[in-house]
Structure 1
């Protein structure tokens, strides 16, 4: 995702000259300024009959500037820099945008009236340079820094201080050649001065202004040269053809002729973008749009995916913690149950002592007696010398009764813990297979309902109307080879909805045998299910389960009328009877073949 000098130049051109559905920003009034994140600004610009939202980010990995359609939640109290910008810029008018060459620095020149109603100019300097990115408010007349989104002194930078009251210094110049003044002689001279072992893409990126590594590869590809070609492997022909392609790029830059492209994969997800089509990425498809729209779409997708991954990982960590807790309880109770099962020997000891009490004396520490159940063997019993034989027998009977009660108490607890762990494993499986924020929202709601996740409070008063219950999203829909509909639940809430409400009694219900996974329903319409459809549905049940990476997965199937949900059971838990089992291997290519792979309407 190279937000290089070319991309910034294309952004600037659209902001100044306008583009499709975009009016020029020069003359726009600054209506409102927000700072939704520590290193991000949203500036609302107003024109007659038109409002635009400008996003400026100084994030190290996402430094950029562009118009956006996205709105974000703002903090209850605006940060200090936001308040400074509001004081100095709100109500001001943008009168100019400047970019020196193809540097990643864009300066907004803003006319605004000061406290005594005098017309002054402030410069909002946007430095978009990776980890050195910054947004600095400067007084245009004195070049004194008013404030910045990042402050640092000479302790962090030996070149300059960025602090209120200091004079603004331009970032240090890079020793690169400007594309708008480049000619063949300068190109040839600078190319052959580079180390012979250096790769061409590195030379182009380091020596010519505004070019990212990605665009350097594109130039080499358009020249028909190998991507990993070094200068030592080049002759006059290679350098000449490379110079011709770079010359065409320079001409487009001088004419501000930018045909931006968003490169997407087969799923339509943005992967790369630049101010020129990236034809060397042949496995990707180029989408045409304005540079502002492309950058907005790309980073919106990146932010949503990052938010999705963070939320997903947070929920998975929570569920895995609970799974481990249940596993520890199961292990402890199984050990206690094993010890309780050994208590039958206490009953035997007591009986043997009572049967032989007449020939035993008090004070013995142990005794060996013949076993009732095996006369050829003897049982060695340890005794308390302070007790009589009968008292020792009664002590063993008490131990036996205690162990018996322990077994009766542990067995239901152990069964509940096993069921709870199975339920949590099903939630973890649903989380691992979740693909959208709405999927995570449903699972979060389920975890709130079951008490594993704290419920969010909105602070509404009791007299307010209660928030409507969140609807369960539709399950996935597939069409079998026999043209029958197969429905698959994506989480436990969907499983309940699919099995208990959407499915009819004559439909066929499938689920992996004793393995957490999705409920699968074949809509039969009262007709017999062909073996091919049954096999495909079983493969889907195995694929959308915890056994997705396994082989020979058992899948149970039965009529929907044989499936029941016990009262008070966890989401997704059902019981079923009169079932049969089919063994299948999960096939990751099958869901894509059984179109449509989308939620039902």
Structure 2
């Protein structure tokens, strides 16, 4: 389902309310989408996206969530040119899937051109002299030599579709006679007419024949022409009828500025923006923070891949202990039997300490003693590696555990502040740059009271550190899912014995905050220690007992 010509025409009329509106904020929602907050009597929120599958323009019912914590050049230019500017016009070139937003502000006049062309969609900021200031997708000559979209280049409209004709001037009898009667009617419509999308073509076929998949031979040209004219009439009279199409299960599968008889159900909506917002809310998921969450998850994944690759490399460098000892022994054997080794030999067979004859490779350009020294040098080098590399392996394994903990923290994050807290942890670890917009005061651990016992639950590494080493005392009970990253849970016992049902509730909290079902370890806080060299919230513990519990989604 893609934005088509009629959808944009309907939207253009809807956007008349924004003429004269002042741009208050410009937001980057994701790498291919921007949001504009405009004021015209009240706040309006306009979304423009050049996503290859989810490209769209629509007004939103509420303020969109800000996206990645980055400021690409186009965002800085959009803020420079649009912030404080007024919308002077919104235009649509004939038969094009393009809307042109005209602005006038302190920097002068400019245009934001939204090209809704599926995978070729783009958002282009154009200067008063018609040159590209920047685009959300820069297109160089190596991609499209005929239409370059780069800063400083003259802006060019998408090339005209010379092989298609406006529906208002079509000779329907001639058109349908010129094609095979066995061709699907909808394919003929999309292939020969301007402004006709697959959805619109199926709708014309449905209205003309009762079947969206009808063949040309089933269609009366006059009826096809009338149905087409009816659907394009709002271009002149402005009487749009935005609808959403639903399948047999009641799921929204389409939208259009006209009733959708091709689907089992068609429901009217107030505006085409509402139709698109409802459709894309389902397609993009219900997570309001999905964009910000995905950005942090991508950074965690990239860091983890880097550490895992380093770990593989280090492990391959750890020498075999028997090989190391043989280097020392070979050097010693050469010294012991130096008088029996022929000068210039490339190898020699000598008995080892157990009497087994071994082959020792030699450098024929060196003396026997020099060859022995070479073996000793290699022995010392590999011995040093054998001592240093295991520590490096442990360090890298700890870093992977830290990143897995951050991934778990991110899954548990329920607010933007909690997502930002995970990002800050990643930045403090040196994996990404620090945010230019520090988050608000960090939220503390979750606090619950169950039958008079206070329970603290950490949702991220710093909260886990606080729960375990600041809020807990040595006699308190400490719980954690075995073998997984997840929450630290503490039961404040106050010297009292904790009833089993309270322990089980706390264990479910730990399990719910883990990644999958698993046994929960329980021990006193006194037996929990920070992992040497580990990140905040990383611990080792002992004297634990294990409680098997089922996850409880209602634990909190």
Instruction: Place the TM-score, normalised by the shorter chain, in its bin.
Output: 0.5 to 0.7
Does the CA contact (< 8 Å) of 1:261 and 1:289 recur in 2? Answer: no
Residue aligning to 1:555? 519
Aligned to 1:213: 198
CA displacement 1:375-414 (0-9 Å, x = unmatched): xxx4558999978xxxx9x999999999877765555455
Which residue of 538, 542, 555 maps to 1:577?
542
User: Tell me, what secondary structure is at the counterpart of 1:14?
Assistant: helix
- Determine if contact 2:478/2:491 at 8 Å carries over to the other structure: yes
Measured in 2, the distance between the counterparts of 1:381 and 1:165 equals: 77
Larger radius of gyration: 1
Q: Which residue of 2 aligns with 1:231?
A: 215
Alpha-carbon distance between aligned partners in 2 of 1:517 and 1:33, rounded to the nearest angstrom: 39
- In the TM superposition, what is the alpha-carbon distance from 1:570 to its structure 2 partner? 2.0
Q: Which residue of 2 aligns with 1:21?
A: none
Tell me if 1:564 matches 2:528: yes
- Is contact 2:292–2:419 with CA below 8 Å preserved after alignment? no
| Other-structure match for 1:442 | 421
Verify the 8 A CA contact 1:346 1:400 in the aligned structure 2. no
- From 225, 245, 256, the equivalent of 2:239 is 256
> How much does 1:450 deviate?
2.8
C-alpha contact 1:506 1:524 (8 A) present in aligned 2: yes
Question: Aligned with 1:10: secondary structure?
Answer: helix
TM-score by length of 2: 0.60
Measured at CA, do residues 101 and 260 of structure 1 come closer, stay the same or move farther in structure 2, by a change above 3 Å? farther
Which of 512, 519, 530 is the equivalent residue of 2:487?
519
- Secondary structure of 1:327's aligned partner: helix
Cα distance, 1:244–1:476 mapped onto 2, change above 3 Å: farther
> How far is the alpha carbon of 1:544 from its aligned partner?
0.7
Work out the CA distance in 1 between the residues paired with 2:223 and 2:456.
57
2:430 counterpart (420, 444, 451): 451
Aligned to 2:500, what secondary structure does the other structure show?
A: coil
Are 2:325 and 1:329 equivalent residues in the alignment? no
| In structure 2, distance between residues paired with 1:307 and 1:496 | 24
Q: What is the deviation of 1:51?
A: 6.5
Aligned with residue 177 of structure 1, among 160, 167, 173: 167
Match of 2:345 in 1: none
Q: Is the CA contact (8 Å cut-off) linking 2:131 and 2:153 kept in structure 1?
A: yes
Matches within 5 A, 1:344-423: 363-365=339-341, 368=351, 378=355, 412-423=391-402
Output the CA distance in 2 between the equivalents of 1:521 and 1:285. 50
* 2:302 corresponds to 1:320: no
Deviation at 1:318, TM superposition (A): 2.5
Change (3 A) 1:176 1:197: farther
For residue 544 of structure 1, what is the aligned residue in structure 2?
Answer: 515
TM-score (norm 1): 0.57
Structure 1 residues 568, 205: closer, same or farther in 2, change over 3 A?
same
Pick the aligned partner of 1:509 from 479, 483, 487.
479
CA 1:564–1:379 in 2, change beyond 3 Å: closer, same or farther? Answer: same
Residues 400/485 of structure 1: CA separation in 2 closer, same or farther (3 Å cut): same
> Using a 3 Å threshold, how does the CA distance of structure 1 residues 342 and 260 change in structure 2: closer, same or farther?
farther
Cα distance in 1, alignment partners of residues 301 and 79 from structure 2: 37
Per-residue displacement from partner, 1:265-317 (whole Å, max 9, x unpaired)? x9x9x9865435768788x9989554346657878996975665455324311
Alpha-carbon separation, structure 1, partners of 2:382 and 2:155: 80
**Residue 275 of structure 1: aligned partner:** 257
Which residue number corresponds to residue 500 of structure 2?
A: 528
Q: Which residue in 1 is equivalent to 2:13?
A: 13
1:331-390 deviation line (CA, Å, top 9, x unaligned): 323x2656456689799x89xx9xxxxxx998345875885xxxxxx4558999978xxx
CA–CA distance in 2 between the matches of 1:506 and 1:56? 53
Structure 1 contact 430–490 (Cα < 8 Å) conserved: yes
The aligned residue for residue 2 of structure 1 is 2
Q: 1:522 to 1:200 in 2, by over 3 A?
A: farther
In structure 2, distance between residues paired with 1:281 and 1:521: 51
Q: Match of 2:167, SS?
A: coil
- Tell me: CA distance 1:294–1:236, structure 2 relative to 1, closer, same or farther (3 Å): closer
CA contact (8 A) 1:507 1:523 kept: yes
Residue ranges of structure 2 left out of the alignment (5+ in a row):
342-348
Instruction: After TM superposition, give the deviation of residue 560 of structure 1 in Å.
Output: 5.3
Question: 1:55/1:563 Cα in 2 relative to 1: closer, same or farther (>3 Å)?
Answer: same
Q: CA deviation at 1:9?
A: 2.7
Contact 1:109 1:123 (C-alpha < 8 Å) held by counterparts: yes
For the residue of structure 2 that corresponds to 1:363, the secondary structure is helix
Task: From the superposition, tell whether residues 236 and 528 of structure 1 become closer, same or farther in structure 2 (CA, over 3 Å).
Answer: same
Distance 1:107 1:277 in 2: 27
> Could you tell me how far 1:319 is from its partner in structure 2?
2.4
**Which residue pairs with 1:156 in the alignment?**
146
Cα drift, residue 321 of structure 1: 0.6
Which residues of structure 1 form unaligned runs of 5+? 17-23, 116-121, 140-144, 354-359, 372-377, 459-466, 546-552, 585-589
Report which stretch shifted further, 193-202 or 246-255.
Answer: 246-255
Q: Contact between 1:275 and 1:291, CA under 8 Å: does it hold in 2?
A: yes
Conserved? CA contact 1:512–1:556, under 8 Å = yes
